[in-house]
């Protein structure tokens, strides 16, 4: 089956790093994505990684992919209050995106 | 670039009426658009895949006669919820996929539908 799992909630102090984890089951996924959703809004693409890569860094964001364990993580450095949102990982399966359950990140001062 | 709009942002309607939601790619052409549904505090569930000029492909369990999808041009897809009922109340989000590059999906801001 196609299951993408995430922890439900993460709380961090402003300025610390946040690490959001995701596990997926489809080893044939070509791309894996991270999206951010603020309350009442659509999804904003943050970053993506191709399945033959181990790591990708984009400013404050670092994506790590462990294909053997089917584990994906998103690290946000110097987390700010504006980073508070729900973060979804997604795997691309042929034409479709399969979304994770979402992780609510709360940043406190 | 890669902006997707949806209209309306929110809509309240009476049970039994039909509601049309538009999804537009504003600055790129999208041969494929996707329609998702999101219940409160839940993930996105794909309803259907819409290809320009052809019939939409619906996911298992989604009634095609209830959720009518039209993708008449490379920049516009519409979702019509027919004979809406309170259980259709949800957040509907569309996405559009570019025809080049990494085929990334870009998402609209969503439409909140409330059926009374």
For the stretch B58-86, pLDDT in tens is: 999 999 999 999 988 889 999 999 999 99
Where does residue A2 rank: exposed (0-12), middle (13-18), buried (19+ CB within 10 A)? Answer: exposed
How far separated are the first and last CA of chain B, in Å rounded? Answer: 37
What distance in Å separates the CA atoms of residue A55 and residue A73, rounded to the nearest whole number?
10
For the stretch A26-66, pLDDT in tens is: 878 788 999 999 988 889 999 999 988 999 999 999 999 99
What distance in Å separates the CA atoms of residue B37 and residue B94, rounded to the nearest whole number?
9
What distance in Å separates the CA atoms of residue A16 and residue A73, rounded to the nearest whole number?
16
> Residues of B at the A interface (Cβ-Cβ below 8 Å)?
4, 6, 32, 34, 42-44, 46, 49, 93, 95, 102-110, 112
pLDDT band at B102 (very low <50, low <70, confident <90, very high): low
Asked if residue B1 has pLDDT above 80, the reply is no
User: Measured on CA atoms in the order B12, B91, B30, B32, is the torsion positive or negative?
Assistant: negative
Asked if residue B41 has pLDDT above 90, the reply is no
Asked if residue A2 has pLDDT above 70, the reply is no
CA distance A77 to chain B (A): 24
For the stretch A58-68, pLDDT in tens is: 999 999 999 99
């Amino acid at each position: 089956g196609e299951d993408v799992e995430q922890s439900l909630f993460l709380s961090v102090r402003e300025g610390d790093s946040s690490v959001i984890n995701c596990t997926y089951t489809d080893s044939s996924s070509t791309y894996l994505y991270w999206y951010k959703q603020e309350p009442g809004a659509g999804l904003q693409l943050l970053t993506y990684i191709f399945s033959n890569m181990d790591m990708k860094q984009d400013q404050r964001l670092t994506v790590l992919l462990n294909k053997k364990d089917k584990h994906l993580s998103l690290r946000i450095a110097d987390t700010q209050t504006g980073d508070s949102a729900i973060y979804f990982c997604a795997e691309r399966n042929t034409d479709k995106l399969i979304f994770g359950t979402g992780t609510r990140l709360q940043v406190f001062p | 670039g890669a902006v997707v709009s949806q209209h309306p942002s929110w809509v309240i309607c009476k049970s039994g009426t039909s509601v049309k939601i538009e999804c537009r790619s504003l600055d790129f052409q999208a041969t494929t658009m996707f329609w998702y549904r999101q219940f409160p505090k839940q993930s996105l569930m794909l309803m259907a895949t819409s290809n320009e000029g052809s019939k939409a492909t619906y996911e298992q369990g989604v009634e095609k006669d209830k959720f009518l999808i039209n993708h008449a041009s490379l920049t516009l897809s519409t979702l019509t919820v027919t004979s809406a009922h309170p259980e259709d109340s949800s957040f509907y989000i569309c996405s559009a996929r570019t025809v080049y590059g990494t085929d990334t999906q870009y998402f609209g801001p969503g439409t909140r539908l409330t059926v009374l």
